[in-house]
Copies of this chain bind each other. A is one copy, B any other.
Amino acid sequence: MDPYYKEALDQAKKSLAEGGIPIGSVLVYQNNIIGKGHNKRVQDGSVVLHGEMDALENAKRQPASVYKNSIIYTTLSPCPMCTGAILLYGIPKVVIGENVNFKGAEDLLVAKGVEITVLNDPESIQMMQNFIQAKPALWNEDIGE
């Protein structure tokens, strides 16, 4: 497995172990992970720290040139909020673990010229499927449903 994706997946597993929503993400710049994170709805009561947002937040303030030469990895297809953050900062590439359990605003990313790669990693699919079955109300809250 791609080592960057593995770290995103490890972040998702960390969140699951904490009782949280198992979605993780890393931001990679020049072959280095500069931010990693996971969904913080349960852990911090946050409604904005989805996995991708937490990775961006943990990367701290960066000049535009960093974002525009970075890749963001996420275990699940990015929701409209995370898609918007990717577009705001001009991140040109997104590697998505899976879009079987949830398909976010991928069409918008593509329309705006962002390169997306969907892995549909079996372990990621299974983990998310198990979580949604176990905690449907929490999952629905996370996607505004």
Total contacting residues, chain A, CB less than 8 A: 34
Q: Identify which of A84-92, A115-123, A128-136 touches chain B.
A: A84-92
Interface pair A48/B41, CB less than 8 Å apart: no
Interface pair B61/A41, CB less than 8 Å apart: yes
Q: Identify which of A9-17, A93-101, A137-145 touches chain B.
A: A137-145
CB distance from A70 to the nearest CB of B (A): 12
**A49-B47 in contact given A64-B145, A88-B144 (Cβ < 8 Å):** no
**A61-B144 in contact given A81-B81, A85-B84 (Cβ < 8 Å):** no
Asked if A57 is at the interface (CB within 8 A of a chain B CB), the reply is yes
With the chains together, A90 CA to B79 CA distance in Å? 12
Interface pair A48/B48, CB less than 8 Å apart: yes
Interface pair B89/A105, CB less than 8 Å apart: no
CB distance from A81 to the nearest CB of B (A): 4
Interface pair A47/B41, CB less than 8 Å apart: no
Which residue of B45, B49, B83 is within 8 Å of A84 (Cβ)? B83
Interface pair A56/B61, CB less than 8 Å apart: no
With the chains together, A36 CA to B37 CA distance in Å? 25
**A56-B48 in contact given A81-B88, A143-B88 (Cβ < 8 Å):** yes
